[in-house]
Amino acid sequence: MGCCGSKVASEDPRRSNKSVLKSPVLCASSVSQGSKHTHTASTKSTVEEEEEPALDERSILLLQTSWEEFNKINSGQFSNLYGVMIFVKIFQLSPAASTLFDFVDETEEVSLMKNKKMHCQVDHVLNALSTAVTNLGQLAFVAGILQKLGGRHVAYNMQEEYFDSFKIAVMYALEAALEDKLTEEHKAAWKVFLDIVCENMLIGFRKQKQLND
């Protein structure tokens, strides 16, 4: 749980009665094949009826084990170093993204490592990623959470192009933390996963923008 109590991290599919396929859901299987499509509740109405295979079992295992390892390393001696590194990289790639955080004065790694609010924000994102990685077997559930989260980012002044920086930044931090342990197979699985995260957040983001217009 993050220091600011992110709701996302506490969601549990076993306690959720929501029909998560009410809105279009991005299929991981189609992402990995390079063609994206959506389907709606009119064809499938419950999580249990979801037939589309998510990432295959091996990819899910690779994601979960490497994520566990990343978290172990990230909670080591320099706590959250690699989590903060994600934001440092985002701010390098998209300098304007730093203006969304009122507590960010300097974007240097050393100053951000000392910034408690930065650590809180890192916890938000890492917790959200943990929820997604942990529940990958239930992609429709994960998609529902991410779409809502994406919708909330409209109010945070998020810009669509920042998602590309986010994907690069997460991969960068994973490589820095895991070094040789992050194989090409791991990287391929992470690429598909990060696409799923950002595509679903974008679905919610665009829907919320339309509602606001």
Binding site for ligand HEM (CB under 6 A): 6-8, 90, 97, 100-101, 124-125, 128-129, 149, 152-153, 156, 158, 162, 165-166, 197, 201
> Of the two residues 167 and 186, which places its CB atom closer to ligand HEM in the complex?
167
Q: Between the CA of residue 53 and those of 30, 48, 56, 60, 108, what are the distances in Å?
A: 9, 12, 7, 11, 41
We find the least distance from the C-beta atom of residue 45 to ligand HEM, in angstroms, to be 27
38: enclosing H helix or E strand: strand 38-39
28-35 contacts: CB < 8 A, separation 24 or more? Answer: 28/52, 28/53, 28/54, 28/55, 28/139, 28/192, 28/196, 29/53, 29/54, 31/192, 31/195, 31/196, 31/199, 32/192
We find the least distance from the C-beta atom of residue 167 to ligand HEM, in angstroms, to be 8
We find the least distance from the C-beta atom of residue 43 to ligand HEM, in angstroms, to be 27
> Of the two residues 117 and 187, which places its CB atom closer to ligand HEM in the complex?
117
> Of the two residues 156 and 180, which places its CB atom closer to ligand HEM in the complex?
156
> Of the two residues 41 and 109, which places its CB atom closer to ligand HEM in the complex?
109
Cα 98 from Cα 168, distance rounded (Å): 16
We find the least distance from the C-beta atom of residue 48 to ligand HEM, in angstroms, to be 25
